[in-house]
Amino acid sequence: MTIKENISLLPYNTFGLPAKAKIFTEYSSVEELRALLEKYKGEPLLHIGAGSNLLFTKDFDGVILHSAMRRARCVSEDADYVWIEAENGLVLDELIAQLCDMGISGLENLSYIPGEVGASAVQNVGAYGVEAKDVIESVRAVSIADGAERIFSNAECQYGYRDSIFKNSLRGKYIITHVVYRLNKHFEPKLNYGNLSSEVGSNPTPMSVREAVIRIRQQKLPEVSELGSAGSFFKNPVISHEAYETLTRQIRDDRVPHYEQEGGVKIPAAWLIEQCGWKGKSIGGAQCYPKQPLVLVNTGSATADDIVALAAAICKDVQDKFGITISPEVNYI
């Protein structure tokens, strides 16, 4: 267990923004987590992963919790599937690399997404036609109020697009400590999103899909070690079929990029933002990334206010031009 006071959060947010926490703690077991929750009961608490989905707008006058639990193990298997339990502090991409190396499939499309296992299950991260919910069997969590442990089935997590019960009715009430994935021993590639199929080529394997996803992401997204960002800043909006028809008539183009979703049509937010002319533009030190307008970057001098102002201006222009609401995927703290 680690406890530090008045610590800089610069290493713990990928935007690279200066902020401090009154107390920073790190635990290595569920027992240590329970002890910290008891010790700091009544204090403002924030559990963070790799800080890849956070925008610190000010210092945090409370207790930051971070996991040093980073193991994964097989808990069951049959002829078709293997169930892998991963601890919340394990970097998701490291887990995916290990699984692909073993020929185990299901998570390869999520390669190179920044963040840790626990946060990915809260956010229901997704990419290239796959979401975490597609393979999550269950999650184990600890109640912040009393330290009691509870297992949530996939259905109980109430997963939606970049959403879960842990972002809504149970927000701030549980900390996910373990995630169990049901993964496939028989590879069934999902390549029908974007240009993934052409990038992978013939005879795909979990590892070749992973490598293709990484190549595509590296071409579009900045390395956070060079330009601070939180990856995709905005969610892709899902609109009704009627709204989609209206959109195509409005711009007189039936080639608007879109993906059929349950209950509607998903429109790439990057396309909407680019149509509004924001690609490459800046407010202060915050920039709409020239290679991928879904990403906002810290060019080196950005303040949190710059990033908030840029995001708000982009959202307003998309709403004004298309009548479509886009919203941040990033959590403002």
Q: Which of 67, 105, 229, 232 is catalytic?
A: 232
Query: Quick one: fold of 2-67?
Result: 3.30.43
CATH 3.30.465.10 residue ranges in the chain?
72-218
Q: Which CATH number fits domain 72-218: 3.50.50.60, 3.90.1150.10, 2.60.120.10, 3.30.465.10?
A: 3.30.465.10
pLDDT value at residue 168: 93
CB 208: neighbour CB atoms within 10 A?
Answer: 17
Q: Does residue 153 have an active-site annotation?
A: no
Q: Which of 87, 108, 116, 329 is catalytic?
A: 329
- CATH code for the domain defined by 222-332: 3.90.78.10
pLDDT value at residue 247: 85
Strands 20-27 vs 60-67: parallel, antiparallel or unpaired: parallel
Model confidence over 153-184: pLDDT tens digits?
999 999 998 899 999 999 999 999 999 999 99
Q: Cβ distance 330 to 54 under 8 Å?
A: yes
pLDDT value at residue 254: 65
Q: Which of 140, 162, 182, 210 is catalytic?
A: 162
Q: Does residue 162 have an active-site annotation?
A: yes
Low-confidence ranges of the chain (pLDDT < 50): none
Q: Give the span between the Cα atoms of 207 and 209, in whole angstroms.
A: 5
Q: How far is CA 112 from the centre of its chain?
A: 11
Q: Give the span between the Cα atoms of 110 and 85, in whole angstroms.
A: 17
pLDDT value at residue 137: 97
Q: Does residue 208 have an active-site annotation?
A: no
Edge-to-edge strand ranges of the sheet holding 81-87: 72-77, 81-87, 174-184, 136-143, 149-153
